[in-house]
Amino acid sequence: MVNPPGHTSRDGHQWTPKAGLVAGLPTLGTIKPQSKLRSADTIYDVAIIGGGYTGLTASRDLATSGHKTLLIEARDRIGGRSWSSNIDGYPFEMGGTWVHWTQPFIWRELFRYNLLGENLEVSMSHEGGINKCIVRPFKDRPAIFLEKEQEDKISESAIKKLVDVDGQLGRTVIPLPHDALRNKEAVAIFDKMSLGDRLSEIEHELSPLERNMVEGFLSITCGGQWHDSSFFELLRWWALSNWDYKGFMEMGLTYKLRCGQSGLQRCIFDEAVMSNNLDYSFSTPVATIHDQQNLVEITGRNGEKFRARSVICTVPLNVLHTIQFSPELLPLKKQASVEGHANHVVKCHVEVAKPSLRSLGTFNYPYGKLTYAFGDGTTPSGNTHLVAFGSSLPGVHLQPEENVQETLDAWKGLLPDTKEEDIKRVVFHNWHKDEFAQGAWEWFKPNQVSKYLDALRERQGNVWFGSADWAQGWRGFLDGGIEDGQRVAKEVADHLKTREIKVKL
């Protein structure tokens, strides 16, 4: 790695009984020094705004292919909405976490950096398996204890009823998962449907327990209100999982990186730096992007100016409209960003001195401020690590840093017979209060896919737009971010080559 790991980012919070609530988390992704720039009058081939997976991939691909590249990042770290806090050498994933060999772009990166084979960096979140599940469907009644096989049977039945809109578990709706819009007739029907619409259609087919468990799962999958969350997005994820319940759970919630996402991101960033073609400026939020036809000028909030022949903007959908573009953002791009996507889920980790909880899965929907939790590892101290998600449903939305006691109580409500003294650490990053994210992973609202997806991917003059938020395949996932970074990097490289040929002629 270019600089020693272990710096502390301004992002995130952790609570311990001894120190209380502390802002800022250690991570491999913090970059020191914060800038490496050539002379002030440098004109770069390409400037990339945003250092998440899309920006990192594009930076690496362009820098290593000989282009003079500048990476501008608002945070003090790489990773965007996917980063890990490495506490005592153990990664707590603040955002995107899980990977799978059916996600081709991230698996390619793991091969590239020798993180497979003998140097295997992939582990299971619940090694040894989740063998018991607790469900609390009724507020004034005792919890229900289920064996894992029972929980899977109920969940699989409910999800299959939800997605079976064609008698073939959705296969005819999205026959080609990486080209989800190909079936225009199906898109016209299902893109306008919300999860609420679909739940209403099948409400009489679901048992009370099936409904409780599928709603609990969906509430932390879409992270939004039922009427505000697209049913089509669920059908797309289901299709990417080969229209199969086991695949659906395995591809989205099972395998993670021992080195943490920040470990893989450092591999990508360090390769770009070692090319000697990458300059960077961190802690530099962008205020304006001015396309002057032959040159693009980027101005930071601090007044610092950068110039490049082309720009790749990887700012998340919910934040895109906060940057001033000249010429203005195309109307559909701006409208999509102002509307924003639906996901405002809360993600929260706990380290607890109870090894028996390692194999636990637990629901507390719809009453708990944390909705669903499961065992995610064993910390170096031998404690159990669990990860939980909380929905944005009215009345239960958790603001973990605003009321630590409420957060601790939410955890105790999830974990049976757990006392406050058993809780050794709480770790989290509140994404919907983060000005550079304003929400978690992408989950489109009804009608947004057909109305905005093509527009969001459209080039605007010398400015390209890339993000996991509008990737074609695993949109909203780590894989989608890398996919779109590769796309825009190739498009810009081709453009620069064509431009160079025209100048020579």
* 73 marked among binding-site residues: yes
User: Which segments in the chain show pLDDT lower than 70?
Assistant: 1-6, 126-131, 395, 502-505
Q: List the one residue out of 33, 34, 14 whose CA is nearest residue 94.
A: 14
Note the pLDDT of residue 139.
Answer: 74
Model's pTM, two decimal places? 0.96
Residues 455 and 123: their CA atoms lie apart, in Å, by 38
Note the pLDDT of residue 2.
Answer: 45
* 286 marked among binding-site residues: yes
Residues 480 and 468: their CA atoms lie apart, in Å, by 5
* 498 marked among binding-site residues: no
Q: How far is the CA of 164 from the CAs of 53, 183, 234, 337, 440, in angstroms?
A: 33, 16, 12, 31, 27
- Conformation bin of residue 419: beta by default, left when phi > 0, alpha when psi is -120 to 50: beta
Domains and CATH numbers, the chain: 29-86+260-339+438-504 (3.50.50.60), 124-253+347-429 (3.90.660.10)
Residues 289 and 323: their CA atoms lie apart, in Å, by 7
Which contiguous run of DSSP H or E holds residue 378? strand 372-378
* 389 marked among binding-site residues: yes
Note the pLDDT of residue 5.
Answer: 55
Residues 281 and 128: their CA atoms lie apart, in Å, by 43
Specify the DSSP class assigned to residue 253: H
Note the pLDDT of residue 3.
Answer: 44
Exposure letters 215-247 (e unless 16+ CB within 10 A, then b): bbbbbbbbbbbbebbbbbbbbbbbbbbebebee
Exposure letters 467-485 (e unless 16+ CB within 10 A, then b): bbbbbbbbbbbbbbbbbbb
Residues 391 and 234: their CA atoms lie apart, in Å, by 16
> What is the tens place of the pLDDT at every residue in 10-67?
999 999 999 999 999 999 999 999 999 998 899 999 999 999 999 999 999 999 999 9
> What is the tens place of the pLDDT at every residue in 267-316?
999 999 999 999 999 999 999 999 998 999 999 999 999 999 999 999 99
